[in-house]
Structure 1
């Protein structure tokens, strides 16, 4: 059994109790159930401009409560607003409200054009709230090293089972996406869940940043759904060289991964998977 870190354990707010009418054959009866909670979170940053502290709301995202600080940190990195964890001075959740404030270091360099966009992000898609395709063309700060690292095919094939065992909230609700970080030995390093797949990725990346870990460039990220453009973008922004998914990738996701020499794998099962680009990082396919 995979042990959960304290941060990954479900919070009281991550699930919501409901009463349903359960139908079994001709029998209908009320029953208690739980749903994955979905609530808005506003992310604000506090930064210094011309010697004065300024506060700016930059995102409203629909998420599952829990790991909010990691979600905010990961969002700032994967959107290109910060480049390193050192640029964050502190993160504070506003009590009794779905607002989180990220205070940046006084010397943190901020691209003001990115702050002019006010994001609204649904739980289903991390790109839909952006005004144009130009808004997602961020500069990748960590270019990938071709052909490194190398993973065995068995690590990829066993990832769905290992992730499934670790999904505490999914076990109760059946209604969450998950992202997990694996090393080349197949060890699950970190896992995050959320109603939004892009939020799960940001929580995962932000959790690593806040822990001071430097494991992205040696790791594979595995996602429980499809490999969409925004997930590939976020993995690239963190410098993760391999992304694998239970579902299919989109055409734009494959184009982006290939452009940056990333390994993209889809339709992962216990006995098979598809490699869309970057096969040189898989041991069975290296010379």
Structure 2
């Protein structure tokens, strides 16, 4: 990756590389910046719920967002404790996060074990090991109408996201996601080696810092985000998480899939893709966009 003038952030490490060009052949080894990838063991009351490959950092948001997307948590009120099992000040050292439910609450771990086959949740796939797509769709309630959004705000969203990608600047090897309000202001933004991890971090931050609640626990006047923007393609896993978090709009710089479009239509989400250079495609529910 091309060098950056700014110092690398945590989550970037160095590995040797030899660069080839037709003019000079294979160059001598040099140090190259790459994204750090390590496993994270997510445990609830001592039981492992998932093992995911991620870029260390914002682990409490990642874990909260993951459990929220799985339907195990419905608000921050469901959390009794969330402890990173590592050295103080060195997030990622122990690569284990222990979650304790709120007093008197028992989290339904069968929701995960019944729909997964115990497989590793990799950095590339948020739905690996699922037995049925219906397992995921069942958790997706239709999102409320939500505020309208100016088309110009949606068109600028990837540019806003790009300003929050220091790890990509150094490595070129990470994805990013951000939550924006109706004026285009960033509510939360994170990077990760996995698309779905970046989204989980965003959702977790909204749960813990903005009071996001699931459809089951929502109260009148509760916080609702407006726009989720992602750096990669808009796959089914991204739309599923957006639906559970009640995002009325999703913007992607890349392509959709057939299932992501189907889920967006069913969940009432406005899905825009290939959002680049001030242009985009709208696949579902264009009525939310204000043009002109």
> TM-score, normalization: structure 1?
0.86
Q: Is the partner of 1:206 in helix, strand or coil?
A: helix
Q: Is the partner of 1:192 in helix, strand or coil?
A: strand
Distance in 2 (CA, whole Å) between partners of 1:239 and 1:119 is: 27
1:175 CA drift (Å):
0.4
1:37 CA drift (Å):
1.1
The answer to whether the Cα contact below 8 Å between 2:39 and 2:95 also exists between their aligned partners in 1 is: yes
Distance in 1 (CA, whole Å) between partners of 2:197 and 2:43 is: 16
| Corresponding residue number in structure 2 for 1:284 | 291
Instruction: Identify if the C-alpha distance between structure 1 residues 71 and 11 changes in structure 2 by more than 3 Å, giving closer, same or farther.
Output: farther
User: 214-223 vs 72-81, which deviates more?
Assistant: 214-223
The answer to whether the Cα contact below 8 Å between 2:272 and 2:281 also exists between their aligned partners in 1 is: yes
| Corresponding residue number in structure 1 for 2:139 | 139
Alignment of 1:163-178 (within 5 A): 163-178=161-176
Unaligned runs of 5+ in 1: 1-8, 47-54
User: 210-219 vs 18-27, which deviates more?
Assistant: 210-219
Alignment of 1:31-42 (within 5 A): 31-42=30-41
Q: Is 1:101–2:92 an aligned residue pair?
A: no
1:101 CA drift (Å):
0.6
Instruction: Identify if the C-alpha distance between structure 1 residues 273 and 216 changes in structure 2 by more than 3 Å, giving closer, same or farther.
Output: farther
> TM-score, normalization: structure 2?
0.85
Structure 1 residue ranges (4+ consecutive) displaced by more than 6 angstroms after TM superposition: none
Unaligned runs of 5+ in 2: 1-6, 87-92, 213-221
The answer to whether the Cα contact below 8 Å between 1:10 and 1:66 also exists between their aligned partners in 2 is: no
1:31 CA drift (Å):
2.1
The answer to whether the Cα contact below 8 Å between 2:80 and 2:100 also exists between their aligned partners in 1 is: yes
Q: Is 1:260–2:267 an aligned residue pair?
A: yes
Instruction: Identify if the C-alpha distance between structure 1 residues 274 and 88 changes in structure 2 by more than 3 Å, giving closer, same or farther.
Output: same
RMSD over aligned CA atoms reads 2.0
Alignment of 1:182-261 (within 5 A): 182-214=180-212, 217-261=224-268
Aligned length: 266
Instruction: Identify if the C-alpha distance between structure 1 residues 72 and 138 changes in structure 2 by more than 3 Å, giving closer, same or farther.
Output: farther
1:213 CA drift (Å):
4.0
The answer to whether the Cα contact below 8 Å between 2:119 and 2:128 also exists between their aligned partners in 1 is: no
Q: Is the partner of 2:178 in helix, strand or coil?
A: strand
Instruction: Identify if the C-alpha distance between structure 1 residues 104 and 245 changes in structure 2 by more than 3 Å, giving closer, same or farther.
Output: same
